[in-house]
Amino acid sequence: TQLLEQSPQFLSIQEGENLTVYCNSSSVFSSLQWYRQEPGEGPVLLVTVVTGGEVKKLKRLTFQFGDARKDSSLHITAAQPGDTGLYLCAGDGSGANSKLTFGKGITLSVRP
C-alpha cells in the first residue's frame, strides 16, 4: 500500500506570512497532484508534477517534486484569506490496477 503523509495537519497563520507544507512517502510516484478543497465543495486540482526535481508556480503558490519522486512541497508566499482551505496531495501508483492515492490533507487557515 502506498501511503502519503502530509504535514503539518493543521496550520493557522496571519495574512501576509509565508508557509511551506509537505507531502511525503516511502514510495516512488510517477506523478503527484495537489488539490485544494473549500468548505462545501469537492477538491479541485491545482497542479500536477511529473519530473523529479520539477518546480511549478501558480501565482503565489510554488510546488516542488522531490528528486526521487517520493515527496513534494507547496510553498505559499504572502498568504491571503482566500488561500484558506484543505490542501490534498495525491500520487499515482504503479501497475495496471493502481489508482490515485490521497493524503489526509492539510487544513490551512489564513487570518485577516
Partner 1 sequence: GAGVSQSPSNKVTEKGKDVELRCDPISGHTALYWYRQSLGQGLEFLIYFQGNSAPDKSGLPSDRFSAERTGGSVSTLTIQRTQQEDSAVYLCASSPSRVTEAFFGQGTRLTVV
Residue 85 CB, nearest distance to partner 1 (Å)?
A: 12
19-38 residues near partner 1, rule: CB under 8 A = 30-31, 33, 35
Beta-bridge partner residues of 31: none
Residue 99 CB, nearest distance to partner 1 (Å)?
A: 5
Size of the site for partner 1 (CB under 8 A): 27
Q: What are the start-end ranges of the H helices in the chain?
A: none
Between β-strands 106-111 and 10-14, what pairing exists: parallel, antiparallel or unpaired? parallel
Q: Which residue has the cell 501497475?
A: 95
Which residue among 12, 18, 51, 98 contacts partner 1 (CB under 8 A)? 98
d(CA 50, CA 2) in angstroms, rounded, equals 17
Is residue 101 a contact residue for partner 1 (CB under 8 A)? Answer: yes
